[in-house]
Amino acid sequence: MTADIVLRNVTLPTGRRADIVVANGIVRHVGAPVRADETIDCRGHTCLPGAVDMHVHMRGGVQAQKEDWHTGTMSAVAGGVTVVVDQPNTIPPITTPELLRARICEAEEEAVCGFAVNAGVVPDADLTGMWDAGAMAFGETFAAPSSYGEGLDPETLKELLTRIHALGGLVTVHAEEVSDRAPATLAEHDSARSGAGEAQAVRAVSALAPAEIRLHFCHASTAASVRAARGTVEATPHHLFLSHGMFDADDTRARVNPPLRDEETRRELWSCWDRIDVVASDHAPHTLHEKGVPFETAPSGIPGVETMVPLLMAAVRRRRITLISVIEKTSWKPAAILGIQRAGFEPGDRADFALYPDEITRIDASCLHAKCGWSPFEGLEAVFPEEVVVGGARAYTCGDLREARPAWYPGQGYLSLQNK
Protein backbone atom coordinates (compact mmCIF):
# COMPACT_ATOMS: atom_id res chain seq x y z
CA MET A 1 0.00 0.00 0.00
CA THR A 2 1.27 3.47 -0.91
CA ALA A 3 0.34 6.55 1.07
CA ASP A 4 0.55 10.32 0.84
CA ILE A 5 1.04 10.72 4.58
CA VAL A 6 1.16 8.47 7.63
CA LEU A 7 0.40 9.56 11.17
CA ARG A 8 2.55 7.27 13.27
CA ASN A 9 1.99 6.22 16.88
CA VAL A 10 -1.52 7.62 17.16
CA THR A 11 -3.27 6.75 20.41
CA LEU A 12 -6.85 5.97 19.37
CA PRO A 13 -9.86 6.73 21.62
CA THR A 14 -9.90 3.02 22.52
CA GLY A 15 -6.37 3.32 23.94
CA ARG A 16 -4.84 1.27 21.12
CA ARG A 17 -1.78 2.74 19.40
CA ALA A 18 -1.64 2.51 15.60
CA ASP A 19 -0.50 4.21 12.42
CA ILE A 20 -3.08 6.04 10.29
CA VAL A 21 -2.42 5.71 6.57
CA VAL A 22 -3.81 8.48 4.35
CA ALA A 23 -4.14 8.69 0.57
CA ASN A 24 -6.18 11.10 -1.55
CA GLY A 25 -7.56 12.83 1.52
CA ILE A 26 -9.07 9.66 3.00
CA VAL A 27 -7.99 7.30 5.78
CA ARG A 28 -7.05 4.08 3.97
CA HIS A 29 -5.69 1.88 6.73
CA VAL A 30 -5.28 1.90 10.51
CA GLY A 31 -2.74 -0.49 11.96
CA ALA A 32 0.77 -1.53 10.95
CA PRO A 33 3.14 1.04 9.37
CA VAL A 34 3.58 1.44 5.61
CA ARG A 35 5.89 3.56 3.49
CA ALA A 36 4.74 7.10 2.76
CA ASP A 37 5.89 10.33 1.12
CA GLU A 38 5.55 12.09 4.49
CA THR A 39 5.15 11.01 8.10
CA ILE A 40 4.14 12.72 11.34
CA ASP A 41 5.16 11.17 14.64
CA CYS A 42 2.27 11.65 17.06
CA ARG A 43 4.01 10.46 20.21
CA GLY A 44 3.51 12.95 23.03
CA HIS A 45 0.41 14.39 21.33
CA THR A 46 -3.33 13.77 21.43
CA CYS A 47 -4.71 13.25 17.93
CA LEU A 48 -8.25 14.52 17.39
CA PRO A 49 -10.37 14.42 14.24
CA GLY A 50 -10.63 17.90 12.72
CA ALA A 51 -13.44 19.90 14.29
CA VAL A 52 -16.52 21.03 12.36
CA ASP A 53 -17.61 24.47 13.57
CA MET A 54 -21.17 24.65 12.31
CA HIS A 55 -21.72 28.26 13.39
CA VAL A 56 -19.35 30.98 12.17
CA HIS A 57 -19.67 34.43 10.61
CA MET A 58 -16.71 34.81 8.25
CA ARG A 59 -17.64 38.41 7.35
CA GLY A 60 -15.79 39.42 4.17
CA GLY A 61 -17.22 41.65 1.44
CA VAL A 62 -18.03 45.10 2.84
CA GLN A 63 -17.23 43.75 6.32
CA ALA A 64 -13.73 42.59 5.42
CA GLN A 65 -12.18 44.95 7.97
CA LYS A 66 -13.60 42.65 10.69
CA GLU A 67 -12.64 39.34 9.09
CA ASP A 68 -12.41 37.67 5.70
CA TRP A 69 -12.42 34.08 4.48
CA HIS A 70 -8.62 33.84 4.56
CA THR A 71 -8.05 35.17 8.06
CA GLY A 72 -11.17 33.49 9.44
CA THR A 73 -10.31 30.04 8.13
CA MET A 74 -6.65 30.50 9.04
CA SER A 75 -7.86 31.16 12.58
CA ALA A 76 -10.04 28.05 12.36
CA VAL A 77 -7.19 25.78 11.27
CA ALA A 78 -4.88 27.18 13.96
CA GLY A 79 -7.50 26.07 16.46
CA GLY A 80 -7.97 22.56 15.06
CA VAL A 81 -11.14 23.36 13.07
CA THR A 82 -11.03 21.99 9.53
CA VAL A 83 -14.60 22.70 8.34
CA VAL A 84 -16.60 25.87 9.02
CA VAL A 85 -20.26 26.60 8.25
CA ASP A 86 -20.88 30.26 7.42
CA GLN A 87 -24.12 31.97 8.43
CA PRO A 88 -26.22 33.95 5.93
CA ASN A 89 -26.75 37.24 7.81
CA THR A 90 -24.07 38.86 5.69
CA ILE A 91 -24.30 42.24 3.93
CA PRO A 92 -26.33 41.75 1.80
CA PRO A 93 -28.03 38.71 3.41
CA ILE A 94 -27.97 35.48 1.44
CA THR A 95 -31.53 35.11 0.17
CA THR A 96 -31.09 34.07 -3.50
CA PRO A 97 -29.16 31.36 -5.35
CA GLU A 98 -27.05 34.04 -7.01
CA LEU A 99 -25.95 35.50 -3.68
CA LEU A 100 -25.26 32.02 -2.33
CA ARG A 101 -23.09 31.12 -5.33
CA ALA A 102 -21.19 34.41 -5.00
CA ARG A 103 -20.49 33.64 -1.34
CA ILE A 104 -19.26 30.16 -2.24
CA CYS A 105 -16.98 31.60 -4.94
CA GLU A 106 -15.56 34.11 -2.45
CA ALA A 107 -14.76 31.27 -0.07
CA GLU A 108 -13.23 29.10 -2.80
CA GLU A 109 -10.79 31.91 -3.61
CA GLU A 110 -9.76 32.74 -0.03
CA ALA A 111 -10.47 29.88 2.39
CA VAL A 112 -7.69 27.57 3.61
CA CYS A 113 -9.92 24.74 4.91
CA GLY A 114 -13.29 23.12 4.28
CA PHE A 115 -16.41 25.26 4.30
CA ALA A 116 -20.15 25.31 3.76
CA VAL A 117 -22.63 28.18 3.46
CA ASN A 118 -26.14 28.42 4.90
CA ALA A 119 -29.20 30.09 3.36
CA GLY A 120 -31.08 33.03 4.84
CA VAL A 121 -34.65 32.56 6.06
CA VAL A 122 -36.88 35.58 5.38
CA PRO A 123 -40.32 35.79 3.73
CA ASP A 124 -39.06 36.68 0.25
CA ALA A 125 -36.07 34.29 0.20
CA ASP A 126 -35.79 31.79 -2.66
CA LEU A 127 -35.56 28.77 -0.37
CA THR A 128 -35.87 26.15 -3.11
CA GLY A 129 -33.34 27.88 -5.33
CA MET A 130 -30.76 28.11 -2.57
CA TRP A 131 -31.34 24.50 -1.49
CA ASP A 132 -30.73 23.33 -5.06
CA ALA A 133 -27.68 25.62 -5.35
CA GLY A 134 -25.91 23.97 -2.42
CA ALA A 135 -26.99 25.61 0.83
CA MET A 136 -25.88 23.41 3.72
CA ALA A 137 -28.77 24.43 5.99
CA PHE A 138 -31.32 27.19 6.54
CA GLY A 139 -30.35 29.73 9.18
CA GLU A 140 -29.50 31.09 11.57
CA THR A 141 -33.25 31.53 11.43
CA PHE A 142 -34.02 34.44 13.71
CA ALA A 143 -36.89 33.99 16.13
CA ALA A 144 -35.66 37.27 17.65
CA PRO A 145 -33.62 40.15 16.20
CA SER A 146 -29.83 40.06 16.44
CA SER A 147 -26.83 41.49 14.59
CA TYR A 148 -27.72 41.85 10.89
CA GLY A 149 -30.81 39.68 11.37
CA GLU A 150 -34.46 40.64 11.80
CA GLY A 151 -36.72 38.53 13.99
CA LEU A 152 -39.62 36.63 12.43
CA ASP A 153 -43.12 36.66 13.89
CA PRO A 154 -44.56 33.22 14.84
CA GLU A 155 -46.95 32.98 11.89
CA THR A 156 -44.25 33.79 9.35
CA LEU A 157 -41.77 31.50 11.08
CA LYS A 158 -44.23 28.60 11.02
CA GLU A 159 -44.87 29.08 7.30
CA LEU A 160 -41.15 29.19 6.48
CA LEU A 161 -40.39 26.15 8.62
CA THR A 162 -43.14 24.24 6.80
CA ARG A 163 -41.61 25.15 3.43
CA ILE A 164 -38.13 24.10 4.56
CA HIS A 165 -39.45 20.83 5.95
CA ALA A 166 -41.00 20.07 2.55
CA LEU A 167 -37.54 20.42 1.02
CA GLY A 168 -35.97 18.12 3.60
CA GLY A 169 -33.73 20.90 4.87
CA LEU A 170 -32.05 21.41 8.22
CA VAL A 171 -33.17 24.53 10.11
CA THR A 172 -30.87 26.22 12.62
CA VAL A 173 -32.66 28.59 15.00
CA HIS A 174 -31.61 31.67 16.97
CA ALA A 175 -34.20 31.69 19.77
CA GLU A 176 -34.54 34.63 22.16
CA GLU A 177 -37.08 37.04 23.61
CA VAL A 178 -35.95 40.67 23.53
CA SER A 179 -37.22 43.64 25.53
CA ASP A 180 -37.40 47.14 24.06
CA ARG A 181 -35.04 48.84 26.49
CA ALA A 182 -31.46 49.60 25.46
CA PRO A 183 -29.08 48.04 28.00
CA ALA A 184 -26.19 50.07 29.38
CA THR A 185 -24.32 47.21 31.10
CA LEU A 186 -23.67 43.52 30.63
CA ALA A 187 -26.07 42.68 33.45
CA GLU A 188 -28.81 44.79 31.84
CA HIS A 189 -28.11 43.07 28.52
CA ASP A 190 -28.57 39.74 30.30
CA SER A 191 -31.94 40.93 31.62
CA ALA A 192 -33.06 42.42 28.28
CA ARG A 193 -32.45 39.04 26.57
CA SER A 194 -33.16 36.90 29.61
CA GLY A 195 -32.39 33.24 30.03
CA ALA A 196 -36.01 32.57 30.90
CA GLY A 197 -37.12 34.30 27.71
CA GLU A 198 -34.63 32.30 25.67
CA ALA A 199 -35.97 29.02 27.06
CA GLN A 200 -39.53 30.14 26.36
CA ALA A 201 -38.58 31.00 22.78
CA VAL A 202 -37.02 27.54 22.36
CA ARG A 203 -40.24 25.94 23.60
CA ALA A 204 -42.36 28.14 21.31
CA VAL A 205 -40.34 27.31 18.19
CA SER A 206 -40.31 23.62 19.11
CA ALA A 207 -44.10 23.69 19.38
CA LEU A 208 -44.82 25.43 16.07
CA ALA A 209 -42.31 23.51 13.94
CA PRO A 210 -43.52 20.54 11.85
CA ALA A 211 -43.28 17.23 13.68
CA GLU A 212 -40.51 15.59 11.64
CA ILE A 213 -38.49 18.67 10.71
CA ARG A 214 -34.71 18.61 11.08
CA LEU A 215 -34.37 21.22 13.83
CA HIS A 216 -31.22 22.56 15.49
CA PHE A 217 -31.05 25.25 18.17
CA CYS A 218 -28.03 27.55 18.15
CA HIS A 219 -26.05 28.89 21.13
CA ALA A 220 -28.18 27.76 24.08
CA SER A 221 -26.95 29.83 27.02
CA THR A 222 -28.90 28.23 29.89
CA ALA A 223 -29.63 24.74 31.14
CA ALA A 224 -33.35 25.41 30.73
CA SER A 225 -32.86 26.16 27.02
CA VAL A 226 -30.88 22.97 26.51
CA ARG A 227 -33.57 20.92 28.22
CA ALA A 228 -36.37 22.61 26.25
CA ALA A 229 -34.82 22.05 22.81
CA ARG A 230 -36.42 19.69 20.34
CA GLY A 231 -34.02 18.18 17.85
CA THR A 232 -30.35 19.03 18.42
CA VAL A 233 -28.82 21.84 20.44
CA GLU A 234 -25.48 23.61 20.52
CA ALA A 235 -23.64 25.58 23.18
CA THR A 236 -20.77 28.02 22.73
CA PRO A 237 -17.44 28.28 24.53
CA HIS A 238 -18.30 31.80 25.68
CA HIS A 239 -21.44 30.65 27.47
CA LEU A 240 -19.55 27.68 28.96
CA PHE A 241 -16.40 29.53 30.03
CA LEU A 242 -17.42 33.18 30.56
CA SER A 243 -19.92 35.00 32.77
CA HIS A 244 -20.61 38.73 32.72
CA GLY A 245 -19.18 39.14 36.22
CA MET A 246 -15.71 38.39 34.80
CA PHE A 247 -15.77 41.75 32.98
CA ASP A 248 -16.27 45.39 33.82
CA ALA A 249 -19.97 46.20 33.84
CA ASP A 250 -19.85 48.17 30.57
CA ASP A 251 -17.17 46.18 28.72
CA THR A 252 -18.54 46.03 25.16
CA ARG A 253 -16.09 43.29 24.19
CA ALA A 254 -18.23 40.87 26.20
CA ARG A 255 -21.48 41.96 24.54
CA VAL A 256 -22.93 39.06 22.55
CA ASN A 257 -26.35 37.60 21.70
CA PRO A 258 -27.54 35.63 23.62
CA PRO A 259 -25.79 37.52 26.44
CA LEU A 260 -23.24 36.18 28.84
CA ARG A 261 -25.11 35.04 31.93
CA ASP A 262 -24.27 35.23 35.62
CA GLU A 263 -21.84 32.78 37.16
CA GLU A 264 -24.51 30.50 38.62
CA THR A 265 -26.21 30.16 35.22
CA ARG A 266 -22.87 29.47 33.54
CA ARG A 267 -22.09 26.67 35.99
CA GLU A 268 -25.57 25.21 35.57
CA LEU A 269 -25.05 25.06 31.80
CA TRP A 270 -22.15 22.68 32.41
CA SER A 271 -24.57 20.37 34.21
CA CYS A 272 -26.18 19.73 30.79
CA TRP A 273 -22.89 18.75 29.14
CA ASP A 274 -24.16 15.27 28.27
CA ARG A 275 -27.36 16.68 26.70
CA ILE A 276 -25.52 19.27 24.55
CA ASP A 277 -25.10 17.83 21.05
CA VAL A 278 -22.66 20.33 19.55
CA VAL A 279 -20.16 22.92 20.70
CA ALA A 280 -19.86 25.68 18.08
CA SER A 281 -18.08 29.01 18.36
CA ASP A 282 -20.57 31.53 16.91
CA HIS A 283 -17.40 33.30 15.73
CA ALA A 284 -18.68 36.83 15.05
CA PRO A 285 -15.78 39.31 15.11
CA HIS A 286 -16.02 43.08 15.34
CA THR A 287 -13.06 45.44 15.44
CA LEU A 288 -12.04 47.12 18.69
CA HIS A 289 -12.93 50.43 17.03
CA GLU A 290 -16.49 49.21 16.49
CA LYS A 291 -16.64 47.92 20.05
CA GLY A 292 -15.19 51.15 21.44
CA VAL A 293 -18.50 53.04 21.64
CA PRO A 294 -21.09 53.42 24.43
CA PHE A 295 -22.56 50.08 25.46
CA GLU A 296 -26.05 51.00 24.23
CA THR A 297 -24.86 51.26 20.61
CA ALA A 298 -22.04 48.68 20.56
CA PRO A 299 -22.45 45.67 18.24
CA SER A 300 -22.94 42.22 19.72
CA GLY A 301 -20.58 39.43 18.77
CA ILE A 302 -17.16 38.04 19.67
CA PRO A 303 -14.40 36.02 17.95
CA GLY A 304 -13.98 32.41 19.00
CA VAL A 305 -13.28 29.86 16.25
CA GLU A 306 -9.56 29.56 17.09
CA THR A 307 -10.03 29.16 20.84
CA MET A 308 -13.01 26.77 20.85
CA VAL A 309 -11.26 23.39 20.87
CA PRO A 310 -8.18 24.63 22.79
CA LEU A 311 -10.44 25.72 25.68
CA LEU A 312 -12.14 22.33 25.69
CA MET A 313 -8.81 20.52 25.53
CA ALA A 314 -7.65 22.37 28.63
CA ALA A 315 -10.83 21.17 30.34
CA VAL A 316 -9.94 17.63 29.25
CA ARG A 317 -6.43 18.01 30.70
CA ARG A 318 -8.01 19.17 33.99
CA ARG A 319 -10.27 16.05 33.85
CA ARG A 320 -13.40 18.16 33.81
CA ILE A 321 -14.73 16.49 30.66
CA THR A 322 -13.73 13.45 28.63
CA LEU A 323 -11.77 13.49 25.42
CA ILE A 324 -14.36 11.37 23.61
CA SER A 325 -17.10 13.87 24.51
CA VAL A 326 -15.06 16.66 22.92
CA ILE A 327 -14.59 14.59 19.77
CA GLU A 328 -18.31 13.84 19.65
CA LYS A 329 -19.46 17.44 20.17
CA THR A 330 -16.92 19.21 17.97
CA SER A 331 -16.45 16.74 15.12
CA TRP A 332 -18.61 13.63 14.81
CA LYS A 333 -22.02 14.97 15.86
CA PRO A 334 -21.89 18.17 13.77
CA ALA A 335 -20.76 16.14 10.75
CA ALA A 336 -23.69 13.77 11.27
CA ILE A 337 -26.18 16.62 11.66
CA LEU A 338 -24.92 18.28 8.47
CA GLY A 339 -24.65 15.03 6.53
CA ILE A 340 -20.97 15.33 5.66
CA GLN A 341 -18.33 12.61 5.77
CA ARG A 342 -16.86 12.45 9.23
CA ALA A 343 -13.18 12.80 10.08
CA GLY A 344 -11.82 9.99 12.17
CA PHE A 345 -9.81 6.88 12.73
CA GLU A 346 -11.54 4.35 10.47
CA PRO A 347 -10.88 3.48 6.80
CA GLY A 348 -13.04 5.75 4.65
CA ASP A 349 -13.06 8.63 7.14
CA ARG A 350 -12.06 12.12 6.08
CA ALA A 351 -8.35 12.68 6.78
CA ASP A 352 -8.60 15.84 8.89
CA PHE A 353 -6.67 15.75 12.17
CA ALA A 354 -5.19 18.05 14.81
CA LEU A 355 -2.34 17.13 17.16
CA TYR A 356 -2.44 18.64 20.65
CA PRO A 357 0.52 18.65 23.05
CA ASP A 358 0.21 17.80 26.72
CA GLU A 359 1.10 21.29 27.96
CA ILE A 360 -1.57 23.79 28.99
CA THR A 361 -0.87 27.39 28.02
CA ARG A 362 -2.90 30.60 28.34
CA ILE A 363 -4.68 32.46 25.57
CA ASP A 364 -2.76 35.45 24.23
CA ALA A 365 -4.76 37.41 21.66
CA SER A 366 -1.55 38.68 20.03
CA CYS A 367 -0.81 35.09 18.97
CA LEU A 368 -4.22 34.47 17.39
CA HIS A 369 -5.01 34.81 13.68
CA ALA A 370 -8.43 36.51 13.58
CA LYS A 371 -8.25 39.91 11.90
CA CYS A 372 -10.02 41.73 14.74
CA GLY A 373 -6.97 41.19 16.97
CA TRP A 374 -8.61 40.59 20.36
CA SER A 375 -10.26 37.81 22.35
CA PRO A 376 -12.69 37.77 25.29
CA PHE A 377 -10.89 34.61 26.46
CA GLU A 378 -7.59 36.42 27.09
CA GLY A 379 -5.65 34.66 29.86
CA LEU A 380 -7.81 31.52 30.05
CA GLU A 381 -6.20 28.09 29.95
CA ALA A 382 -5.99 26.41 26.55
CA VAL A 383 -4.17 23.71 24.59
CA PHE A 384 -3.52 24.72 20.97
CA PRO A 385 -2.68 22.21 18.23
CA GLU A 386 0.88 22.05 16.92
CA GLU A 387 0.03 20.20 13.70
CA VAL A 388 -3.17 20.22 11.65
CA VAL A 389 -3.87 17.96 8.69
CA VAL A 390 -6.61 19.05 6.26
CA GLY A 391 -7.68 16.84 3.40
CA GLY A 392 -4.73 14.52 3.94
CA ALA A 393 -2.07 17.25 3.79
CA ARG A 394 -0.14 19.11 6.48
CA ALA A 395 -1.94 22.46 6.52
CA TYR A 396 -0.52 23.99 9.68
CA THR A 397 2.63 23.49 11.75
CA CYS A 398 3.56 25.37 14.92
CA GLY A 399 2.03 28.68 13.94
CA ASP A 400 2.64 28.58 10.19
CA LEU A 401 0.22 27.81 7.38
CA ARG A 402 1.84 25.21 5.12
CA GLU A 403 -0.83 24.53 2.52
CA ALA A 404 -4.30 25.93 1.84
CA ARG A 405 -6.86 23.16 1.39
CA PRO A 406 -10.21 24.79 0.55
CA ALA A 407 -13.06 22.38 -0.08
CA TRP A 408 -16.73 23.22 -0.50
CA TYR A 409 -19.23 20.97 1.27
CA PRO A 410 -22.62 21.39 -0.43
CA GLY A 411 -25.91 20.51 1.23
CA GLN A 412 -28.21 17.60 0.49
CA GLY A 413 -30.38 19.49 -2.01
CA TYR A 414 -27.44 20.06 -4.34
CA LEU A 415 -26.13 16.52 -3.85
CA SER A 416 -29.54 15.03 -4.66
CA LEU A 417 -29.69 16.93 -7.94
CA GLN A 418 -26.17 15.80 -8.87
CA ASN A 419 -27.09 12.16 -8.24
CA LYS A 420 -30.20 12.18 -10.46
Active site residues: 282
Q: Are 291 and 256 in contact (CB under 8 A)?
A: no
Q: Helix 69-78 crosses helix 97-110 at what angle (to 10 degrees)?
A: 60
Q: Distance between terminal CA atoms of the chain? A: 34
- Run of H or E including 397: strand 393-397
29 is in an annotated binding site: no
What is the enclosing helix (H) or strand (E) of 139?
Answer: strand 138-142
Choose among 247, 250, 254: nearest CA to 221: 254
Order of all β-strands in the sheet with 17-23: 26-31, 17-23, 3-11, 36-41
Strand partners of residue 119: 138
The answer on whether 140 is annotated among ligand-binding residues is yes
Distance of alpha carbon 329 from alpha carbon 19, whole angstroms: 24
> What three-state secondary structure class fits 363?
coil
Dist CA 346 CA 392 (whole Å): 14
Contacts of 98 (CB under 8 A, 6+ apart): none
Instruction: Tell me whether residue 165 is annotated as binding.
Output: no
267 annotated as ligand-binding: no
Q: How far, CA to CA in Å, does 279 sit from each of 26, 52, 53, 80, 180?
A: 25, 9, 8, 13, 30
Q: Cα angle vertex 91, ends 278, 98, to 5°?
A: 90
3-state secondary structure string, 236-250?
CHHHHHCCHHHCCCC
364 appears as a binding residue in the annotation: no
The answer to whether 244 is annotated as binding is: no
282 assigned to a ligand binding site: yes
How do beta strands 26-31 and 17-23 pair?
antiparallel
89 annotated among ligand-binding-site residues = yes
- Distance, in Å, from the CA atom of 377 to the CA atom of 367, rounded to the nearest integer, reads 13
Q: Annotated binding residues for substrate, as ranges?
A: 57-59, 89, 286
Query: Could you tell me which residues are annotated as the binding site?
Result: 55, 57-59, 89, 140, 174, 219, 282, 286
